[in-house]
Structure formats: C-alpha cells, structure tokens
C-alpha cells in the first residue's frame, strides 16, 4: 500500500509566504558558514544533504490524499490538491508542447485525459468548500469514457454541493454537465466499499454539518483518514467508537488544525489539536500519526515547532507510535 499527500491545508489554500522563505534561508546560511562552497560539486552535495524541511515547503493546497495498492486507487477528498493529482494521472501532456500540434488540438480535446484506469473512486469526508474546491480542475473529469464515482455521507447532498459550485456561469464557466467524464454521486454504503484489492469502511465524525472518517485496508495494511472533527469528551461513547475504528491502523492521518490555545478560542468550530488527536491515536495503538489539515495561518516554522512539541508530548506519554508532519508530495509505502 502506498499513500501520497497532494493537499494538506485546511480552510483555504495558503501559498508559500516570503517570511517562510526568509526563515529557510536563515537556517540554510547558518549551516553553510563552515562549508567551503567555492566548488560547485560541494554546493550540490551541501544542498542534497540539507534537512527535508529546508528543501521542501509543507505546502498550501487543501485536502487530497491518494491511497494505492498496485493498480487500485482511492482518492480521499477533492480539495485544491486534486489538481496536481489529476495532471499526474494523465499519461500525456494536457496541452501540446509544439505549436504545430495545435492543428489537432481541438479534436484531441474530446478526450484530453484518459488515465491508465478509467474507473476513478473519490471519497469525500464532507462537502465544506476546502474539500471539494479542486474538482473543477481535476483533469480526468474532462476525459470522455472516464467514470468517476464520488461517495459521501449523502449522495444527493453530495451532488447538490458539487453542482452548486459550478452552477452559474458568473461563478465558474464550466458546469458538471460540460465535463466529459461520467460522474455519479453515492451515499457511502453501510456495508463498506470495495475498490479492487482495497476495502473501505466509514465512520461519522462530529463536525459542523457532519463528516466521515475512512479506513482503507489492503495487502494486510490499513490507513485511517480522519479530518475535520472535534470531540468534546474523551470518554464518550462517540469517542470510544472512533478509537475502535482506528484500532491497530498502520497510519492515522488526523486533523490537527489548532494549537491548544487556539482551540480554546475556537471551541465548537469542529477541529482538533495535535495533542488531543495524538492521545486518541495512542489509545488505538496506531503505527504512524500524521498531523494534517494545517491552519492556513501557520507558517512552516510554526508547523515544525508544533511537530516537535507533539513528538515530545508523545515521548512523555510513553507512546510508541511515530509522529510525522503531512506535507505535499510526501509518499509513504507500507
């Protein structure tokens, strides 16, 4: 099983800020003070040896996570991160690189993106805008012959939400009916869902308007995707059901949008802290724990600081799971 993060922010896309670049440059220059960099090869070696957090931004796209097992794939949420995923799924260039190819360009637009697999499954945690806003830019949705099945808590409400964001020309020039793919909207089945060698279970989460957590299993491994939730009582039946749902998962991808102080001021907004979510994942005896759905106001420096504090909290709590920060482009193979 392979997991790849295409979008990790919550609420709204958050482009890289100049302050983040300055902070990274300060860190890099401090490391370079004692390194002779006159030789270009030494420069290349120095850059290659830099910590990952200085070379790669955490990312600013909203939620989208891909889970694959061989040729089988499920996509978790359709935030702005799904745009890059869609382009990655296209085996050829979406637009011609050579101007001479423009003569056939209009004809080729009939099926601009036929991915290797024609059947695509997207699971929606809920229909708040940050979790569906990337779909109009999902290239496979424009490919004739592609079949895209979207599952959420309520299929009818799901279709209405997707249609509404593309309903009026003054809001977006392309409607769902103009897309070339065959789109279908479904309520997530109570008995679960099978996509090739992957099986999926779902659990309702406490969030304004409702939400779903998903557990994707295959090849003897499992990942729980639980974004946008807020438990007010760690000892409630609802919390216990969530812990049971995560039990023994190899990976838990969890909403950790707020720091503790932020959560006090934003109680009832439907999001978790890294400490609170970590406590539940430790009770479930999970393997990996990924901080996810990062607040758009949190810089890379703040996110890394929160990661280190969460790791320290895990050590003090005698937990054994591994704590990581979800970032765009990060892949994990189980």
Delimit the CATH 3.60.15.10 region(s) of the chain: 2-16+57-327
Q: What pLDDT is recorded for position 268?
A: 80
211-215: long-range contacts (C-beta < 8 A, 24 or more apart)?
211/125, 211/126, 211/153, 211/270, 212/123, 212/124, 212/125, 212/126, 212/152, 212/153, 212/188, 213/125, 213/242, 213/245, 214/76, 214/123, 214/125, 215/245, 215/246, 215/249
pLDDT tens digit sequence for 83-111: 999 989 986 655 556 555 554 544 555 55
Say yes or no to pLDDT of 115 above 80: no
The reply to whether the predicted model has a pTM over 0.85 is yes
User: Nearest CA to 1 among 251, 261, 313?
Assistant: 251
User: Does domain 2-16+57-327 sit in CATH 3.60.15.10?
Assistant: yes
Token duo for residue 143? 């490919």
pLDDT tens digit sequence for 177-215: 888 899 999 999 999 999 999 999 999 999 999 999 999
Q: What pLDDT is recorded for position 36?
A: 83
Say yes or no to pLDDT of 55 above 60: yes
Q: What pLDDT is recorded for position 77?
A: 98
pLDDT tens digit sequence for 233-250: 888 999 999 999 999 999
Burial of 255 (0-12, 13-18, 19+ CB in 10 A): buried
């Amino acid at each position: 099983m392979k997991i790849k993060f295409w979008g990790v922010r919550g609420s709204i896309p958050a482009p890289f800020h100049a302050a983040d670049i300055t902070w990274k440059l300060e860190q890099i220059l401090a490391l370079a003070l004692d390194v002779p960099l006159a030789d270009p090869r030494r420069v290349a070696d120095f850059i290659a040896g830099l910590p990952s957090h200085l070379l790669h931004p955490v990312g600013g796209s909203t939620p989208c996570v891909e889970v694959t097992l061989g040729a089988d794939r499920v996509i978790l949420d359709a935030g702005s991160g799904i745009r890059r995923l869609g382009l990655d799924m296209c085996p050829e260039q979406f637009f011609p690189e050579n101007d001479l190819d423009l003569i056939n360009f209009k004809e080729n637009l009939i099926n601009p993106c036929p991915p290797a697999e024609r059947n695509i499954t997207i699971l929606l945690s809920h229909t708040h805008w940050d979790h569906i806003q990337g779909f109009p830019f999902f290239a496979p949705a424009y490919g004739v012959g592609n079949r895209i099945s979207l599952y959420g808590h309520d299929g009818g409400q799901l279709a209405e939400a997707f249609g509404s964001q593309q309903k009026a020309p003054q809001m977006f020039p392309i409607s769902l009916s103009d897309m070339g793919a065959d789109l279908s909207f479904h309520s997530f089945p109570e008995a679960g869902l099978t996509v090739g060698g992957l099986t999926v279970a779902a659990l309702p989460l406490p969030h304004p308007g409702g939400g779903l957590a998903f557990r994707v299993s295959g090849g003897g491994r499992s990942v729980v995707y639980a974004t946008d939730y807020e438990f007010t009582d760690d000892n409630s039946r609802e919390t216990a059901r969530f812990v049971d749902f995560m039990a023994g998962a190899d990976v838990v991808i969890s909403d950790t949008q707020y720091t503790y102080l932020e959560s006090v001021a934003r109680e009832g907004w439907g999001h978790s802290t890294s400490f609170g979510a970590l406590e539940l994942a430790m009770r479930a005896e999970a393997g990996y724990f990924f901080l996810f759905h990062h607040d758009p106001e949190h810089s890379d420096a703040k996110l890394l600081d929160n990661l280190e504090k969460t790791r320290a909290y895990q050590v003090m709590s005698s937990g054994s799971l591994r704590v990581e920060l979800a970032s765009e482009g990060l892949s994990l193979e189980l």
